Structure 1
């Protein structure tokens, strides 16, 4: 009974996560949220890879029956699954880094902004990151074939993702905050006393709010699984005398999966237009059911009053 409850909860959480990411992709792709095309490209890409993580990590890993099929038994499914899962996970992490860098350039580098912060550059950056992440994680295929040493290689993997991105995000956010503070003080001295509200400052605050929410959410929710993974590898190599409790790994995994659906909430909090579009998407299934029910009742009434 307890296992059944856990399965039902997992299915419910997965369904909510998949629906939220699909809704986010749909809303952002329409381009009616008041965001630039460059920003929209990054946000859509992040939502897509988050959805793929849910598919590869929660759905495919929890449905082992497909691996019992004869077609799959003749393929190294675990090896292929590991490559795809780690590739999309790396993409999710580095897309966040690239988005942070894009916003840093847009806010802090006025000259470079018009050349870098455009849709074409975003496509090139996202494509390049996808290719590099895919090539980097091919070693997982051979890892499961026992051609490499597990502990050292996996330890280096967690150093590159997400420890290095943590450093980049914190550094870029610090530089962005410093630039905003300096620029705000300068504009404040130049503005007249009778014009307290500066539209430029307001736009910057909204952009920075979205940036900090996304990057901060990423760091907080990835911190537990990162610490546990590195600690476990160090312990297996004999550097630590005690191992962290197993429940820490489960907690870290839960937080990591939670990061795949929290961006929808972040957009809803920070973007008014996105919030309106999201409400429309959430109401659509219920509106469809109400419409179908009204149509069915109308047909029933017509059949009753129609003379025989």
Structure 2
């Protein structure tokens, strides 16, 4: 029987994403870890940790879950127990990636906009602590994700794969959990990333105006001000960072919200249903963000490092 179009698209998209994304993140980790990119140790720690979190997303969600489910549906990894464990690691890795992005964005905001706080906050010890706490809290928050899944099917008394039961969305405890989950990731990160980048951009624009006023008419206007030009590029990159994160996460966020205002279920198996198509498309875009994050932030730092 011919697979639905969405399944066919997934079976093409995820292998390509793994082929490109895994080596790209591994290369970024190796290059950044050598410390020869002209970046500070704090920035390097953030970028390496973000690349590792994104690599974990690609390995566990793209390879061990999506590709395994599409090409090896009855392998050892498809057992319900393994599926639950993989889902726990997937959600932990995603939250680490998102909240490390928020922490890094705040670090850039402090570095550019608050010189007094920068001396105390932007240190290697503080960054290491922030990264460790973020990863630990992400794991603790997602421990409940191991328990709610039921087997998708049982063959010869062996449970295979995992699916969220429909009754889960009527139990008060799980209703509360699923109500808070999309708020923690990605709604709050949406707001924080946009806020910090907006404040940083406003500071850069104000600094440019002050600099232009100080230069006055004593400087040849035909000669480009390299500092102003670098700040202009930084604004473009910061907008690209916010836009990329919001756009790639927006579809799945809308799906999460729809669960509470419509009679729909996450992780449904009807691939001809419009909501399921939107949901699975959202997961593909979310995985794509794990491939683009490191590149965008590396470029951002190369530009912002000149400010």
Q: Which band: TM-score by shorter chain?
A: 0.7 to 0.9
2:26 matched residue in structure 1 = 22
Q: How many residue pairs are counted as aligned between the two chains? A: 267
- The residue correspondences of 1:144-155 to structure 2 (distance < 5 A) are 144=149, 149-155=173-179
Q: In the alignment, what sits opposite 2:247?
A: 220
Post-superposition Cα deviations, 1:116-138, rounded to whole Å, max 9, x if no partner, equal: 11222111101110111111111
CA–CA distance in structure 2, aligned partners of residues 121 and 202 of structure 1: 31
Q: Counterparts of 1:177 and 1:230 in 2: how far apart (Å)? A: 30
Number of the residue aligned with 1:56: 60
Shift of 1:152: 4.2
> Residues of 1 paired with 2:297 and 2:199: CA distance?
23
Q: Give the secondary structure class of the aligned counterpart of 1:81.
A: helix
What residue is the counterpart of 2:188 in the other structure? 164
Aligned in 2, Cα 1:267/1:159: closer, same or farther, shift over 3 Å? Answer: closer
Q: Report the CA distance between 1:26 and its aligned residue.
A: 1.5
Q: In terms of Rg, which structure is larger?
A: 1
Which residue of 254, 265, 272 corresponds with 2:284? 254
The answer to whether the 8 A contact 1:151-1:233 is kept is no
1:74-98: CA deviation from partner (whole Å, max 9, x where unpaired): x832322222111110011101100
* Aligned counterpart, 1:281: none
Q: TM-score scaled by structure 1? A: 0.75
The structure-2 alpha-carbon separation of the partners of 1:8 and 1:142, relative to structure 1 and needing over 3 Å to count, comes to closer
Gaps of 5+ in 2: 151-167, 266-272
Residue 199 of structure 1: how far off its partner (Å)? 5.5
Match of 1:34 in 2: 38
Aligned partners of 2:237, 2:45: CA distance in 1, in Å? 15
- Note if contact 2:47-2:294 (Cα within 8 Å) is conserved in structure 1: no
State the secondary structure of the residue aligned to 1:33.
coil
- Of 128, 131, 137, 2:133 maps to 128
How far does residue 246 in structure 1 lie from its aligned partner after superposition?
2.8
Residues 145-294 of structure 1: pairs in structure 2 closer than 5 A: 149-191=173-215, 193-194=218-219, 200-201=227-228, 204-205=231-232, 207-236=234-263, 245-266=275-296
Separation (CA, whole Å) in 2 of partners of 1:271 and 1:133: 26
* Structure 1 residue 5, shift from structure 2 partner: 7.1
Equivalents in 2 of 1:109, 1:98: separation in Å? 15
TM-score by length of 2: 0.75
Larger mean CA deviation between 31-40 and 185-194 belongs to: 185-194
